Structure 1
Amino acid sequence: MTALIARRCAALAQAAILRPRLVVLLALLAALLSGLAVTQRFAMNTDVDALFPAGLPWRETEQRLATAFPQRERLIAVVVDGPTADAADRAAAGLAEALERRRDLFLTVRRPDALPFFRRNGLLFLEEAELRDTTERIIAAQPLLGTLAADPSLRGLATALGLVLEGVARGEAELSAIAAPLAALAPAAEAALDGRIAPPDWGQLFTGRAPAPQELRRFVLVQPRLDFSALSPGATGAEAIREAAVGLGLPAVRFRMTGDIAMADEEFASVAEGAVRNTLLSLALVALLLWLALRSWRLILPVLATLLLGLLMTAAFGALAIGPFNPLSIAFAVLFIGLGVDFGIQFAVRFREQRHGLAALEPAIIAAASTAGPGIVLAALAIAGGFLAFLPTDYRGVSELGAIAGFGMLVAASLSLSLLPALLRLAHPPGEAAEPGWAGLAGLEGGLARQARRVSAGLLLLALLAAAALPVLVFDFNPLNLRDPQSEAVATFRDLMGSAETTPNTLNVLAPSLEAAGPVAARLEALPEVARVMTLASFVPEGQAAKLALVQDAADLMGPTLSPPEVAPPPDDAAVAAALRDLARALTREADRATGPPAIDARRLATALATLAEGPPAGRALLDQSLLPGLRATLAQLNDALQAAPVTLQTLPPELARDWVAPDGRARIEAWPRDLSDDNAALRRFAHAVQSVAPDAGGMAISIQESSATIRHAFLLAGAIGLVWTVLLLLAALRSPRLALLALAPLLLAGLVTLAICAVVGPPLNLANIIALPLLFGIGVAFDIYFVVAWQGGERVLLARPVTRAVMFSALTTASAFGTLALSSHPGTASMGVLLAISLAAVLAAVLLALPALLHAFAGD
């Protein structure tokens, strides 16, 4: 069969060089039509959900949850961290208000932690002992609160503290009784002197409860209008969020974005960031290596022209036959450059070989087609078959990539055997003074031939050792590990993962009704891997009778205090300055009589207030901005909290109920993991435990594993199909089972060695670099075929011949095309580049060292 292919390739080349201008004209027409198709039909679909068919069981579960609770899908979570709970609350409110006005960019804007229900009934969710302590502290602060409520201004604050200091002067109290306010107000006053705003935590001052870290955090959940034709679908919305946050002018508040949309946008941006640089570097390296391999621009330019036309035609095929490119199928360009250039190099090096032996140009081109053609055709068919083997898999991302890349390999081979001869005929490269082989390698091959049996035994031992390492091979299924850990969205996501209150790694179960959800929730809560479980019923506090009694007692005492019949009008600046001056004198007097930290803080506060009182109005205005918004908000929150009423399922607010019960009555159950570590094994245990109770559970912990299983299955299935196809192709072409097996043996060895290196040294296999395995297969099959076809054609000294030069420079150009990926700032892309380098080195070593030894040992003459 190889003889028949050689004759057909020679005939094709002969036809091309008879009418070279017509062939080039047709090529230009193909380039024009392809360019028009690309410019008019090229589109991107960056929706990562579309990479998997909707009919997969885990995708159906996700869809059921999304249909029942659409407001929870495709969110940007804005995390707002403030120096105090009040500052965070006001910042989140301001941001949400600003975003609400941009309905052109956002579908929904929600603050789930800011419902009036929680402001009014928040005390009921405390333990009874903690609630008792809190209400006692509030009651103890009644005199101070009453004065502040009646005059919520700097004058009122100064008056309230002055009254306390009068009590201290009369011996009715100690200065330490107001140690906390002194310690909080002194830094605020000093900051105002420095031109800064530093609000104290009024809630802590009045209740005595130090806020937990999560109490200083608020969330704004935003559903942006996504543009999946853009590289970053949520980029416009994210930019609007940043602008709105900056516009609030709150330097002490930190705004961060995370969530699937934000992380995906950052990932695409990270991949694209170095794409132009890496592409230019790759093309420069390819050009350099082509020069080293071919030594003439009259050879190099035809090869590059053939490559670029093939790339354009492949892009047009993808745009017309497949549709919008997905984030994986767009990688066809890198694959085409890395693999397609190989065919041009093979032809050009063989042409140089023939040009040395044949003086005339045209016979040399035809002879080159005859000698290189069989290898090029078989390699193209093998690689294309390997890519097309992804078509029947469930991973749409690589199935579309396989279709485009497979077509591209056939285009590259066809152009290398038609357009390239025509271009060479027109370019008329000079003759060759010497054969473009490496004669120095003849000694190496002689040694391999003499020790062929021993080398083969060593190769078998190496294969067994590599296979022994496979049980410890790790597959990292977590896509979070493929993203830049320093990026805002990923760093914020990991920050949230570390808290039991905010971890995104929760799982959800749909129950037919809220009543049916109760028993399922109870069984889930009994699992050791589960920390807590919530349903809508979880928002009905326990022990309400005793808690409401405590709240009512406090309300009876504090009601008139927090809601005075009259509120003093705002003071003018002169009144504020006088009040601060009086308070400074009182603080100095009592600081001189006391010792310890309260005296130190009192003296600090007195000094700052005295300076502010004598200074310009701007300093007093800054102090006002530091103290009064939080004070007024805290007084309002205390007043609201003392209005708590009995909570039942029926009295829960509709906005809250809608997050837990769908309109058709189905109820959501949410389970939190006990192990918060960033560990794949912990994530797997949690998912399996929940699924043992609720097999139809859904959520990140499950979708990550199921999607990775789908991807692994796709690669295994495609690998099996590709292997069978290659074996059948080699058997049909070589007509020798022995040669076919010898051609595959180095490839299997290279695969085992690559996986062993990953298992022992790294990097681990992951969802990004696993694509290196079919590339390894395609590259290895091509190189193997070139050598075996040359052997079948009668060549017995392979390493010194031009075929080795062609294979070596093909490997180097492929490495230059793919190797720049290792320089990427995106961890997934970088790991792909590293694994490609490892696999390419393994393939090259197997082909150049193992294959000649095996052929000499077992192929005979």
Structure 2
Amino acid sequence: MKIAQRTAKFAEFFARNPWWVLGGALILSILAGWATAQLPVYTSRLALLPQNTAVAKRFNDFLNNFGAASDLMVVLEGAQSSELEAFADNLAAKLRSEPEIDQATSHLDMRFFLQHAYLLMPPEGLDKLAAMAEQPIPDGGGLEKYLSKVLDWSKNHPPLGGMDTDLQTVEAGLNLGAFFLEEWQRWLSAENVPSNLDWNRLLVKNGAGSMADGYFTSHDGRMLFLFVHPKNTSGNFEELGPFVDKVKQVSAALAEQAKTAGQTPPTIGLTGLPAVEYEEYVNIRKDIALVSFTSAGLVIALILLVVRSFRWAVLIFIPIGLGVVFSLGLTLFMVGHLTIITAAFIAILFGLGADYSIFTSSRITEERQAGKPLVEAIGAGIGSSFKAVLTAGGAALLIFSALLTVDFPGFSELGMIAATGVLMTLVSTWIVQPALYALLPPKLKDIPPTAIIPTSLPPVGRGRFPMPVAVVIVTLAIGGAIFGGVKGLNIPFDYDLLGMLPKDSQAAYYQRRMVAESDFQAEVIIFTAKNMAEARRISREADQLKTIAQVQSLTNLFPEDADTRLHKALSIGELFSRTDYVKQVAELDAAGISATSFKLLRALLENSTAIIDDAQEQAFSAGHSNLVERLEHVREQLLAISTRLETDGEQGRLRSESFLRALLAAANNGLNVINAWRHAQTLAPEQLPPALHDRFFGADGSVAVYAFPAKTVYDAVNLDALINDVYSVSPAATGFPTTHQVFSKTVVEGFSHGTQLALVLCLFWIMAVTRSVRGFALAALPLLIGGGWMLGLMAVSGVRYNFANIVALPLVIALAVDYGVWFSYRWSDLKDRTPFQVSLAVGKAIGLAAGTTLAGLGAITLASYRGLSSLGISITIGLICCLIATLLVAPAIGQLFDLKRKP
């Protein structure tokens, strides 16, 4: 007995016992529903990544040892630096009190670093301090005496060219002098007298603006960053969501308080990998809900619109729903969980599963139209369509199974779940649909147009293409497909994960700005060292790499000569405690600037320009053009201050006196720090502030060194250069860039291999089942031609592959293979029909099948998450191309293979 006849017998059995079939389906649905309810959804990115690679192991080891590898970054901007700093400190304090938050760092405690400055200073700096302390203390006399001496020197100074000073020291001195002159000008011109020196401006000019006053800022100081560390470092949204929501809530509340107090709150933004993953999940979850309900609704609406019968809609839709439920239930036992990728496939399965129900139900209707009894018609329809549906469904199952070979769990699991979904939908179609049809047979007057084979057509639709036209159509179609396939080989891959986020993504916006405007970014390289000596080597070598913008480590606090420095600091502190510097500073502060001192100061300013002129001549003669320009800037500053003092008179004296006292206050602070060195002790890691210790020291005592890339890691060339440099320093480096490089290549290479294997398996399966050149050509060529057109259109329109739409081509193969297969089998069945009659009759069923798929996937194109929307757009392009190739090109191909067919 042929397989079609056996299938017909089984279908008749199911049709004669519908309640038993539906009862069994109901019981299995309840069990599958229970299993689905137990099915966890892993929302962490780690669930998508292979865990058996070296980079994954290193990354997981770091997580276990240090906690989270990436902090949530709160960006503040839109206010004065002092306001940003105050807001940041207040926000960090409030965040630290929240249970979801482990650490919130707005700035480093600069007092700690000042207290241990002897560990950070160059050795020669300590020697100069020691020499300064050992020099004889100058006689008193106050500011007047000092200014008089300097004025006398300015009138009779020795030749500047004879001074033994290197160029670097001169430039450093000029930078410092220019800073103090700028501050003096600020004191003279400000509407309100400043309270402190703005050391941040000096840091910015010397390339250290990102750590002004210990705060983390952009190069220009207009953006300030807070680093927030979660209590629970799991990447699952169950922990990540409340953490990010709490940071948003506290930030918004503090901004509202500032607004209520009459202040202008800063603009607040969140970025960093936690913010990216948060936005990613929230938008994908919203899009999946939208797509799942919308696709199901659109499929039902389209079926009702076309077939105009509720019973027909039930016959088509219930097998789909059962297939989805059964596959989800089996997923619990085969995979054990869903991910954000596999959860999104449900919408696609709705569109794919509808094809089989439409094809089988249309054949049952044809048999009923031929006058067969209901049960016999059900058996004949299922039996006659079985081979076609098996061919199409088997091809889809093999295509999805090919994804199991991809070394990327996110997509290999998709292959497993999708293949299971196809199998379950096929089983539901062959078993449940006959029982449903027996209970709910559509009335013959409700038979939809998809089930009617036209016997009389208008003249334009009766015959076939003229042979030259058929040849031209096929030639152009194949030529276009070849052109598109070649073009498709050059479609670039976009490694930018940020580009997949919504257009208005706050995390992506600030992440790109951080890369462009600061030395910080979320995608940080992490080195781990077994001891401090290795950490010093790593820090030193990493700091020399052009691909690294900034290195963060604590190795400077633990130098090799720490003991020697400690003894020097003790000696310097003791020596300075015996001097009268503190007393002299206090006397100068008390005396201020008298009228006589002010007069001497103005005279000195006037003489200074002559000294600058002399220095410029010496620099010009030596060929130091940059030095000439800097000296000219200082000269202009001196002239501006002199003019302002002459204009302001007494107010200028008072403002200058206030500036002097600010300088003296800074000097007094420095002297106090140095005096405290006499009590200095050996620094141990346990003495570090908790925020520093937890960030740089692991549970096993290992030391972390963080390196911020100089360029974006979402460019393949930049990323490869970065990783090559990083591994030259330490092969054990980890962090997001290292995993991103490996997993990106795994995705691209895996899908290239998986797609090729899927296509080969599909074609071999079709060839094995059709067993004829004509049947194979009619079934496979529309798919190949449509796929080629799809790639060509993507290439011409500038579409790039990304981590989401790279799966589009194998999905299109699985979704669109049905069209050519159904056309091929119906071409053989309807031997007494003309090519146009076959095309119109088959086209209605194929059109409805394609319409349901497009209805399901059309909603994906509206997703706010651009990764999903790009997938929907790519699949939609592919399906439309394959549909056109099936309905337009396939009849012409059939004519070329079947020249004796009825004209």
TM-score range relative to shorter protein: 0.7 to 0.9
Does structure 1 residue 374 correspond to structure 2 residue 387?
A: yes
Q: Does 1:327 align with 2:340?
A: yes
SS in 2 for 1:498: helix
Distance 1:493 1:120, change over 3 A: farther
Report the 3-state secondary structure (helix = DSSP H, G, I; strand = E; otherwise coil) of the residue aligned with 1:493.
Answer: helix
Which residue number corresponds to residue 701 of structure 1?
A: 737
Structure 1, 298-307 or 119-128: larger mean CA deviation: 119-128
Tell me the equivalent position of 2:526. 508
2:857 to 815, 818, 821: 818
Q: Indicate yes or no: 2:242 matched with 1:236.
A: yes
Instruction: Give 1:97's aligned amino acid.
Output: A
Equivalent residue for 2:488, pick from 470, 477, 499: 470
Could you tell me whether the CA contact under 8 Å between 2:766 and 2:780 is conserved in 1?
A: no
Residue-by-residue CA offset, 1:529-567 (whole Å, 9 max, x unaligned): 444555543557999999x999989994599759999xx
1:221 pairs with 2:219 = no
Is the contact made by 2:481 and 2:792 (CA closer than 8 Å) also made in structure 1? Answer: no
| 1:434-453 matched pairs, under 5 angstroms | 436-437=452-453, 443=461, 446-447=464-465, 451-453=469-471
**Cross-structure match for 1:13:** 11
Who is 1:57 aligned against?
A: 54
Q: Distance in 1 between matches of 2:718 and 2:349?
A: 40
RMSD: 4.5
Task: Name which of 425, 440, 446 aligns with 2:438.
Answer: 425
Q: Which residue of 1 aligns with 2:74?
A: 78
Q: SS of 2:837's equivalent?
A: coil
Q: Does 1:848 align with 2:887?
A: yes
For the pair 1:487 / 2:505, whether they are aligned, the reply is yes
Report whether the alignment pairs 1:113 with 2:104.
no
Paired position in structure 1 for 2:163: none
Moved more, 240-249 or 297-306: 240-249
Q: Which residue of 2 aligns with 1:740?
A: 776
**2:350 is equivalent to residue 337 of structure 1:** yes
Q: How does 1:155-554 map to 2 (within 5 A)?
A: 180=187, 183=190, 185=192, 202-204=196-198, 212=209, 214=218, 215=221, 217-225=224-232, 230=237, 233-248=239-254, 249-251=257-259, 252-358=265-371, 360-431=373-444, 436-437=452-453, 443=461, 446-447=464-465, 451-518=469-536, 524-533=542-551, 535-538=553-556
1:351–1:116 CA distance, 2 compared to 1 (3 A):
farther
Please give the alpha-carbon distance, in whole angstroms, between the structure 2 residues aligned to 1:833 and 1:851.
25
The structure that has the greater radius of gyration is 2
CA distance in 1 between partners of 2:51 and 2:588 (Å) = 57
Q: Does the CA-based 8 Å contact 1:511-1:517 persist in structure 2?
A: yes
SS of residue paired to 1:282: helix
- When residues 179 and 519 of structure 1 are mapped into structure 2, their CA distance, relative to the original with a 3 A threshold, is closer
Instruction: State the 1:261 CA deviation.
Output: 1.9
1:652-700 Cα shifts (integer Å, max 9, x gaps): 7535466445465654444444445974533343334434554443333
Cα offset, 1:446, TM superposition: 1.3
1:185 match: secondary structure: coil
* SS of residue in 2 equivalent to 1:417: helix
Aligned partner of 2:89 among 89, 93, 97: 93
Q: Deviations over 1:227-247 (max 9, x none)?
A: 7665x6412122222332344
State the TM-score, normalizing by the size of structure 2.
0.72
Cα contact 1:77–1:222 (8 A) shared by 2: no
CA contact (8 A) 1:74 1:260 kept: yes
Q: Alpha carbons of 1:421 and 1:293: their partners in 2 closer, same or farther (altered >3 Å)?
A: farther
Distance 2:106 2:426 in 1: 58
Residue 800 of structure 1: aligned partner: 837
Q: What is the DSSP-based 3-state SS (H/G/I as helix, E as strand, rest coil) of the residue aligned with 1:476?
A: coil
Task: Sort the Cα spacing of 1:294 and 1:597 in 2 relative to 1 into closer, same or farther, 3 A.
Answer: farther
Aligned to 1:167: none
TM-score by length of 1: 0.75
1:770-809 equivalence runs, <5 A: 770-793=806-829, 795=831, 797=834, 800-801=837-838, 802-809=841-848
Q: Which residue in 2 is equivalent to 1:573?
A: none
TM-superposed CA distance for 1:810, in Å, is: 0.9
Displacement of 1:362 in angstroms is: 2.9
After superposition, the Cα gap between the structure-2 partners of 1:463 and 1:306, relative to the gap in structure 1 and judged at 3 Å, is: closer
Check 1:466–1:640 CA distance in 2 against 1; reply closer, same or farther (3 A cut): same
CA contact (8 A) 1:687 1:702 kept: yes
CA distance in 2, matches of 1:453, 1:799: 16
Instruction: Measure the CA separation in 2 of the matches of 1:555 and 1:102.
Output: 49
CA contact (8 A) 1:517 1:668 kept: yes
Residue 47 of structure 1: which of 34, 44, 48 is its match?
Answer: 44
Kept in 1: contact 2:405–2:412 (CA 8 A): yes
Aligned residues: 746
Q: Distance in 1 between matches of 2:331 and 2:647?
A: 75
Give the secondary structure class of the aligned counterpart of 1:643. helix
Displacement of 1:636: 10
1:447-495 CA-partner distances (Å, limit 9, x unpaired): 1766444433323322332233235311112211101242222222222
SS in 2 for 1:379: helix
Change (3 A) 1:35 1:512: closer
Q: 1:239 to 1:279 in 2, by over 3 A?
A: same
Report matched runs for 1:604-619 at 5 Å.
none
What letter matches 2:302 in structure 1?
L
Question: Percent identical across equivalent pairs?
Answer: 23
Provide Cα deviations, 1:69-94, integer angstroms capped at 9, x if missing partner: 33x42532333457344444443333
Give the 3 Å change call, closer, same or farther, for CA 841–106 of structure 1 in structure 2.
Answer: same
Structure 1 window deviating more from structure 2 (372-381 vs 27-36): it is: 27-36
Moved more, 668-677 or 340-349: 668-677
Match of 1:195 in 2: none
Counterpart mapping for 1:116-135 below 5 A: 116-118=111-113, 120=115
Match of 1:490, SS state, is: helix
* d(CA) in 2 for partners of 1:126, 1:440: 95
Q: In the alignment, does 2:17 pair up with 1:31?
A: no
C-alpha displacement of 1:388: 2.2
Query: Which residue is 1:146 aligned to?
Result: none
| Equivalent residue in structure 2 for 1:762, among 798, 802, 820 | 798
Q: Counterpart in 2 of 1:690?
A: 726
Q: How far does the alpha carbon of each residue in 1:148-201 deviate from its partner, in whole angstroms, 9 at most, with x for none? A: xxxxxxxxxxxxxxxxxxxxxxxxxx9x96754763639xxxxxxxxxxxxx88
Distance 1:127-1:180 versus aligned 2 partners, 3 A rule:
farther
Report how far residue 19 of structure 1 moved: 1.4
775 and 471 in structure 1: CA distance in 2 versus 1, 3 angstrom threshold: closer
Tell me if the contact between 2:42 and 2:337 (Cα under 8 Å) persists in the aligned partners: yes
Q: Deviations over 1:496-534 (max 9, x none)?
A: 212342133443334454434555555555554444555
- Rounded to whole Å, the distance in 2 between the matches of 1:78 and 1:700 is 19
Residue 729 of structure 1 aligns with which residue? Answer: 765
Q: Is residue 508–residue 669 contact of structure 1 (8 Å, CA) maintained in 2? A: yes
CA contact (8 A) 1:555 1:643 kept: no
- Counterpart code for 1:839: G
Rounded to whole Å, the distance in 2 between the matches of 1:537 and 1:441 is: 88
Distance 1:15 1:202, change over 3 A: farther
Contact 1:391/1:400 (<8 A) preserved: yes
Alpha-carbon distance, 1:4 to partner: 3.6
Q: What secondary structure does 1:55 align onto?
A: coil
Q: Using the alignment, how far apart are the partners of 1:713 and 1:122 within structure 2?
A: 51
Contact between 1:440 and 1:800, CA under 8 Å: does it hold in 2? no
